[in-house]
Amino acid sequence: MNRNILIISNDKLLIKQDKISSDYNDTINIIEGLAKKNYLSFFCRTSHVIKNFTSKKQKYKKFLKLKFFDLNRITNYKIFMISITPLNFFTLLFLKICNNKTSGYVYLRSDGHKEYYYKYGIFGQVLYHFMFRVVTSYLKIVTVSKSLTGLKKNYSLVNPSEIEKQWFLNRVKPSLIKPKLLYLGRYKKEKGIFSLINIINLLKTDLKLNIVGTNKKILSKNKKIKYFQELSSIKSIINCYDECNIFVLPSYTEGSPKVILESLARHRPVIVFKDIKHVKKNFRGVFVCKRNTKDFLNNIQFILSNYSKIIKKIKKNKIVTKKDFQNELSKII
């Protein structure tokens, strides 16, 4: 049965009748999954330029972009809120004032408590906690990790993935002459990238680190480190993984990071720090280490010395695909 779903998002979206464009591939992934069996309306920030990621054309559904004063006129809908932000929070309160029967879901894809703390300190953490309490009193939780639900016991767990067929094709064996590390993600404090750079600067070992996703031109003082701008094509992202032999995720906070699935799909081991040890789950080939040079180097050396054995274990992983995730989401909604 088709439902009317109101998507509330803080992301900037370019919305046309048959497709949507966003800077975030996971947002597009969610929209495509919900559009299969539902009619979608949106309340979000507006973009007037085509973004990095665009949804596939939907033949039988219409996308409707709502303005603020449209919200008090819509009826017979379910909310799907993507993350808890001030914009999303106040939109929900306005809907609640207009319609006491407001219901639906909030999708938690990252740890807002920690993110707001790293960005704004104690005030940010208190603010997010307040918004979380209010939003989750009205909306059911759909989450990528149990760790994001606080003390809430009633939630639906999903396994987000953007992995499609091409990720499993034409894998390349890496060179193991020296460590070739990769970080692919945002250039933000909470992502731990500055901590990783500091560790690399302190190491005297001959290695290479590629940092992809800065959107800035950065000249490295350390010849071991190279910076690359954000990539949008899947082919170019796959090439980044193929050129490395170890992927590093240095974040202080994560929900269910897609880069782990991507790295394992390309048969590349992953190093994460203890702050996010929960992302290891049951995956083979993910190594948890302390945030210091000694333990980091020990993990690198262990991986390179046992690479063939580790790859054999990685091949036994069950990699959730984009189709799997969208089916999970569709069943819940």
- Please check whether residues 24 and 148 belong to one and the same domain: yes
- The C-alpha atoms of residue 1 and residue 231 are separated, in whole angstroms, by 38
Is residue 135 located within the same domain as residue 174? no
Provide the b/e sequence for 263-297 (b: ≥16 CB within 10 Å). bbbbbbbbbbbebbebbeeebebbbbbebebebbb
Give the domain CATH number at 51.
3.40.50.2000
Q: In whole angstroms, how far apart are CA 14 and each of 48, 53, 283?
A: 6, 10, 36
Per-residue pLDDT in tens (0 to 9) along the chain, 333 residues: 568 899 999 988 887 766 788 878 888 899 888 888 888 888 888 887 776 677 765 644 555 666 776 777 777 889 999 999 999 999 999 988 887 678 999 999 989 998 899 889 999 999 999 999 999 999 999 999 988 988 788 899 999 999 999 999 999 999 999 999 999 998 888 899 999 999 999 999 999 999 998 766 666 678 899 998 888 788 999 999 999 999 999 999 998 899 999 999 999 999 999 999 999 988 999 999 999 999 999 999 999 999 999 999 999 999 999 999 999 998 888
Whether residue 137 is found in the same domain as residue 173: no
Model pTM score: 0.86
Hey, what amino acid is at 16? Answer: K
Identify whether residues 237 and 294 lie together within a single domain: yes
Residue where one domain finishes, among candidates 157, 187, 209: 157
Closest CA to 31 of 8, 1, 51: 8
Range of the domain at 134: 3-157
DSSP 8-state code for residue 57? P
Query: Nearest 5 degrees, angle CA 270-CA 237-CA 163?
Result: 70
For residue 220, report the phi and psi dihedrals to the nearest 5 degrees: -80, 135
